[in-house]
Chain A
Amino acid sequence: MSTAFEYSPDADKIMAVSLGPQHPGAGHFRIRLWLDGDYVVRADPDPGYVHRGEEKMSEYRNYIQNVPHLERPVILDSSGILFAYSLAVDQLMGNKIPPRAEYLRVIMAELNRIISHEYYLGILGLFVGQTTMITWCMGDRDLFIDLAARIAGARVTFAYIIPGGVRNDMPVGIEVQAFETLDWFDKRMDEYEKIFFKNPLWEERSKGVGVLTREHAIKLGATGTVLRASGVAHDIRKAEPYGAYPDFDFAVPSFKEGDCWARGYVALQEMRESVKILREAFKNIPPGSVRLKLGPQPRVPAGEVYARTEAAHGEMSYFIVSDGTPKPYRLKLGVPSFKNMRVIPHLLKGVHIADIPPVYWGLNYWPVEADH
């Protein structure tokens, strides 16, 4: 470790502080802060407290065994991370996914997007003192978890989207519960706007705080809600449509402001689009089989593939090198939180201490995912 942290010639003026890794406001993650009075002079993210070596683990397991452990980094959005993996393996094997499975993948991915965004908005509200937001969001999130649990059979880690399709079909008649939830949630989101986004206190805390310009967002490699709040309407679902997404009509919300308020608001608007997609998907889902029979140890031809999807936190990508054996030779996991991590020191520089929570939690950042 560099001595700069322990001792600085300006020690009487600049104070070094660790935010995390045990701080409830940081997650399993540390940010080293250098403070001048109340202002952050420099911030240095220090991830790795929950590093599990997912990439090395994948080299010891075959393509099916890799499914359950690869979703662990993002239990909030476990379908998002597996969608990209399944897409990569399918492309490597040349699998033609049955249309019903494509729709089920979309349904699950969008349910997970809502689940993840609800968590994100709740935590964002909690850490700026708007505790109504966390109670509402956590409660409403459960309705979608219930829906997902009826489809996938588990509440958090679904392991639902697998190479070759999805694990099982959804139960008959689930549409009734789904439409009920979606109709209710549509109205509920108007209430979110009233109590949170149009709340003068939150507006004051977040508007113009932590502004990320379009140029910097691109240069620093931001993705997901962060990128779209900075004026880049880039969404892999639109830019490079995969799965059944070309069938759906949805918009990509983006805002020019680039501040904390816009980052939260993009997530809300995305949930509205997800609701639209879900309605269409439940209505138009085609009949048929939901899975190809790949066997417990599918043979994957030698080759390389780079596949990416839009997960809840941003662009999820996999680079898989196969040498023709049942196990991947190399699996590179490109997770959105890791990509967004470069934005943290950039945004925290010069902000007031009280603005750290809205800036940090506004990034839709998930430490476990970044550590993979």
Chain B
Amino acid sequence: MQPKDAAEGGQKAPAPTAPVPPPAAPSPSVVAGPSVSSLGPMPPVPDTTRTKALANVIVQKFPSTKVDYVREKRVKLTSTVDQIKEVAFFIRDQLGFDHLNVVGGTDYMQQGEFEVIYFVGSLSTPGQQDLVVQLAERVKREESPKVPSLTEVWGAAEYHERETFEMLGIFFEGHPDLRRLLLPEDWDDIPPLRKDYHSPGR
């Protein structure tokens, strides 16, 4: 109600160097980062019991799975290309994560790897509708890397995998219809979301 004060009375940008560990969870699923406690009381420490339990179940069943991070409502697991399908079936059937949100892909050029990541939520199981399992896999960065398609597990993956295929040039083996989706049909450059592709003029 004081339009003049709009931008005033705020706080400084958090110091980037402060090595303060995670907490500071004003809203769900907070990332490790510096927190500012100058305004009001400290927010509660994130409760990771549910996600930790989830991660433990998966790691016990598939010891080769690596847990990258566990947060209040997010858990990221990295599986291997050979095993990811089994892990995915396990997550869907035994843990009830039935709703695929998004499939993402990242080009880690300096590490020479691509990461494909599936974000899976749960609709049918009460009590875990706010959780998201992030199931990732790493594949060597080469001309045409191959990973198994998870369309059998989550039907929704079909178009997401097609998008990842055209944007990063990752081939999904076993995909029913692996064609380009968004790019023009006469696109003849390298896949645009690879880090060695540069937009015209940049």
Contacts and interface: CB of A to CB of B under 8 A. Distances in A.
Interface in B125-167: 129-130, 132, 134, 154-160, 163, 167
Contacts of A172: 1, 3
Interface in B171-202: 181-185, 192-193, 197, 199, 202
A289 B154 CA distance: 44
B188 to A, nearest CB: 15
Contacts of B44: none
Contact of A334 (B14, B40, B102): B102
A218 B123 contact: yes
Interface in B95-135: 98-102, 104-107, 117, 119, 123-124, 129-130, 132, 134
Contacts of B160: 338
A240 B129 contact: yes
A242 B100 CA distance: 20
A306 B5 contact: no
Contact of A243 (B5, B27, B39): B27
Interface in A97-146: 97-98
Interface in B26-74: 26-36, 39-40, 43, 69, 73-74
A9 interface: no
Interface in A50-105: 51, 53, 55-57, 60, 87, 90-98
B82 interface: no
Interface residues of A, number: 71
A171 interface: yes
A317 B6 contact: no
Contacts of A315: 101
B: interface residue count bin? 35 or more
A303 interface: yes
Given A98-B10, A324-B16, A342-B158, 4 more contacts: A93-B33, A218-B98, A317-B119, A319-B117
A55 B182 CA distance: 13
Given A56-B192, A169-B3, A95 B14 contact: yes
Contacts of A294: 13
A298 B13 contact: yes
From B7, B107, B119, B157, residue with most partner A Cβ within 10 Å? B7
Nearest to B201: A60
A305 B102 contact: no
Interface in A182-220: 218-220
Top 6 closest A-B pairs, CB basis?
A221-B156, A334-B102, A94-B33, A240-B130, A48-B182, A332-B104
Interface string B77-92: 0000000000000000
A306 B74 contact: yes
Interface of B: 1-3, 5-14, 16, 24, 26-36, 39-40, 43, 69, 73-74, 76, 98-102, 104-107, 117, 119, 123-124, 129-130, 132, 134, 154-160, 163, 167, 181-185, 192-193, 197, 199, 202
Interface of A: 1, 47-48, 51, 53, 55-57, 60, 87, 90-98, 164-165, 168-172, 218-221, 227, 232, 234, 239-243, 285, 287-295, 298-299, 301, 303-308, 315, 317, 319, 321, 324, 329-330, 332, 334, 338-339, 341-342, 371
A1 B14 contact: no
Majority DSSP secondary structure for residues of B touching A? loop
B155 A94 contact: no
Contacts of A317: 101-102, 119
Contacts of A92: 31, 33
A321 B40 CA distance: 29
B9 A288 contact: yes
Contacts of A290: 6-7
B193 A55 contact: yes
B2 A240 contact: no
Given A48-B184, A319-B104, A287 B13 contact: no
A239 B130 contact: yes
Nearest to B199: A56
